[in-house]
A = this chain, B = another copy of it.
Amino acid sequence: MSPETATGNRRATSLSREQVALAALEVLDREGLEGLSMRRLAGELGVGTMTLYGYFRGKRELLDAVVDVATEDFVAPEPVGGFREQLVAYSLASFEWLLRHPMVVQLRGEEAIIRPAALGVSERVLQLLLDAGLGPEEAARAFRVLFTYLFGSALFAPREATEDERRALLAAHLSLPEERFPAIREAAPYAAAATGGRDQFLYGLECIVDGIEARKDRYSAASSHQ
Contact = CB atoms under 8 A, between A and B. Distances in A.
A74 interface: no
A76 interface: no
A148 B157 contact: yes
A28 to B, nearest CB: 15
A214 interface: yes
A171 to B, nearest CB: 13
Interface string A115-143: 00001001110110110000011011111
Interface stretch (A4-12, A81-89, A200-208): A200-208
Given A148-B149, A149-B148, A181-B119, A187 B155 contact: no
Contacts of A23: none
Task: Give the bracket for the number of chain A residues in contact with chain B.
Answer: 35 or more
Interface string A165-202: 00000001000100011111011011101111000100
A153 interface: yes
B208 A207 contact: yes
A110 B200 CA distance: 20
B204 A215 contact: no
A109 interface: yes
A156 B150 CA distance: 10
A155 B109 contact: yes
Contact of A126 (B110, B130, B184, B210): B184
A59 interface: no
Given A106-B109, A207-B208, A211-B206, A183 B127 contact: yes
Given A151-B152, A208-B208, 18 more contacts: A108-B156, A119-B176, A122-B184, A123-B182, A126-B187, A130-B186, A136-B187, A141-B200, A145-B200, A148-B152, A149-B149, A150-B152, A152-B153, A155-B155, A207-B211, A210-B210, A210-B215, A211-B211
